[in-house]
Structure 1
């Protein structure tokens, strides 16, 4: 009997010691995780860029709870040889937003920015089963009522790739009052200043001789008129007024160059349509002006064939784009 009691006491002591050892190990592991997370937080706070590039392990460390700040993570692929036009478009906007946010003392400690490149953080993409990029996730800070809140995704298709839209999204989500200010484009300022000086100098030196050119030069006025019609017919003013996004992504992560419907369009769509209109205009001018000016019948005949083919193929492409935007469009030529 006494042996049984002694055995029970021994087992009890052994279990107690095991529990204490396990608690010590667990506590030490939790402390180490907290220190690593704090180190990452300080790295982001002191970063001149306003964000840091993380791998899979660092991503898991910074978003783990508990923490008293939100984490906004950009999952993208701008390196490693993978072509991702939307990623390249959004990257500078993300950098400008993160830099301004990190300099604003009122919101700096409430949210931090990280970037996970596919080449370094494939585990992150696998964790969320992502097949496309870019993806912008925000992990809100835990609260008393919700100790582990779900991440919130920014919808690029519904909004745009611009930093002001992301800033507005974060303000609503995190209840902050951050104001994004569009930074000065120094390169554009230098180009404008240089161009102004060159134009002013040209007007000063050759201005007296321009009156005869503008009153008698038919090609100049023709190019100005055609250029203006191409720019405005392609939707430049619509994009400027509506602030249309430059490009969007399909469900599979592929870039979408043409918006559905005749009431929507993207910035890249305007450029493509303008290029098509330009080719149509030039081919028409070639058929009516350049080809008839050829004195060699063989060259003239070849010019008619070549430019007619270009004109008709380009027109077919334009109709194809119209049908892409609206499948009920009734006209087509070759394809």
Structure 2
């Protein structure tokens, strides 16, 4: 077995020798994938990056053991392996135990938990009892972007140093605060830390915009949550303004009804999304 590679690249012969061959005194985690651009597998590249993070974390951990190895089989390098395993989709993560054949639980359910490195490590721990502490490489993109933004703001204020009346605009600060709140509660910081895929394409070609687990989310899901929260806030503002009763009664009535509809419909959608991600949650409003 190779000693200096975090993830071994297998073709058909190597797969039969090191994975299917017996006897073995080690477990194998194998990722079946299709990384070639012509395969148009949107999630394969992201899944491969997360998989390499797990394997590298394992090799550099104190609990490193020769009882566990990581491998990868690409369709273009081992199409015979896909035929042997009767696989028609990618990516797929499988655990091959030292003894016996893989069971159903030895195939990771990525449609439910996603492909984040933390989820892969958790699944490996369930199958092998080997704990892996995921160590992600530092990402300096956010720091560089913050420095550039600070420099632009500082330069703008310097150029407008003789006319800073806009800094006392309450509407501007209110909108800025709302945008910041929407960004934070929708999960943008989680996206920055975890780097999830934009969306997910299922085995049958269906596209998922909402992650099926409360432990993950997609980038497009963040935008959906942000829009829904913004609609609820707009509805609350309309209800608040209508309650003041300082406008024409007809306009006040329209504002109240519009605000009530916005809050009811979009809060129901938020609750519905929460129900799909949190199995067993019993409460709903307008939608299942």
TM superposition score category, shorter chain reference: 0.5 to 0.7
Aligned residues: 239
Contact 2:9-2:71 at 8 Å conserved across structures: yes
Shift of 1:271: 4.8
Seen in structure 2, the aligned counterparts of structure 1 residues 60 and 179 have a Cα distance that, compared at 3 Å, is same
Larger radius of gyration: 1
Secondary structure of 2:49's aligned partner: helix
Deviations 1:131-160 (A, max 9, x none): 221100111223xxxxx2425111112322
User: What residue is the counterpart of 2:90 in the other structure?
Assistant: 133
Q: 2:57 aligns with which of 100, 121, 137?
A: 100
Q: Equivalences for 1:1-335 in 2 at 5 Å?
A: 41-42=1-2, 45-47=3-5, 50-63=6-19, 64-104=21-61, 106-142=63-99, 148-150=100-102, 152-196=106-150, 198=151, 201-202=154-155, 205-206=158-159, 208-209=161-162, 211-216=164-169, 220=172, 224=176, 227-228=179-180, 231=183, 235-236=186-187, 246=197, 247-252=199-204, 254-258=206-210, 266-271=217-222, 273=224
Deviations 1:23-60 (A, max 9, x none): xxxxxxxxxxxxxxxxxx12xx212xx11222122222
Matches of 2:154 and 2:188, distance apart in 1: 30
Matches of 1:194 and 1:114, distance apart in 2: 40
Seen in structure 2, the aligned counterparts of structure 1 residues 268 and 177 have a Cα distance that, compared at 3 Å, is closer
Matches of 2:73 and 2:123, distance apart in 1: 20
Deviations 1:89-142 (A, max 9, x none): 212111111122123363241211111111111112222222221100111223
Matches of 1:185 and 1:232, distance apart in 2: 19
Structure number with the bigger relative contact order (C-alpha 8 A, sep ≥ 6) is 2
Seen in structure 2, the aligned counterparts of structure 1 residues 52 and 188 have a Cα distance that, compared at 3 Å, is farther
TM-score when normalising by structure 2:
0.64
Seen in structure 2, the aligned counterparts of structure 1 residues 245 and 92 have a Cα distance that, compared at 3 Å, is closer
Contact 2:29-2:95 at 8 Å conserved across structures: yes
Matches of 2:56 and 2:215, distance apart in 1: 32
Contact 1:94-1:163 at 8 Å conserved across structures: yes
TM-score when normalising by structure 1:
0.56
User: What residue is the counterpart of 1:34 in the other structure?
Assistant: none
Shift of 1:180: 1.6
Matches of 1:195 and 1:237, distance apart in 2: 17
Secondary structure of 1:166's aligned partner: helix
Matches of 1:85 and 1:188, distance apart in 2: 24
Q: Where do 5+ consecutive residues of structure 1 fail to align?
A: 1-40, 143-147, 281-317
Shift of 1:207: 7.6
Matches of 2:215 and 2:122, distance apart in 1: 22
Matches of 1:125 and 1:164, distance apart in 2: 26
Q: Where do 5+ consecutive residues of structure 2 fail to align?
A: 232-264, 276-284
Seen in structure 2, the aligned counterparts of structure 1 residues 254 and 84 have a Cα distance that, compared at 3 Å, is farther
Matches of 2:117 and 2:216, distance apart in 1: 20
Task: State the Cα RMSD in Å.
Answer: 4.3
Deviations 1:236-263 (A, max 9, x none): 47977xx9965445352544224579x9
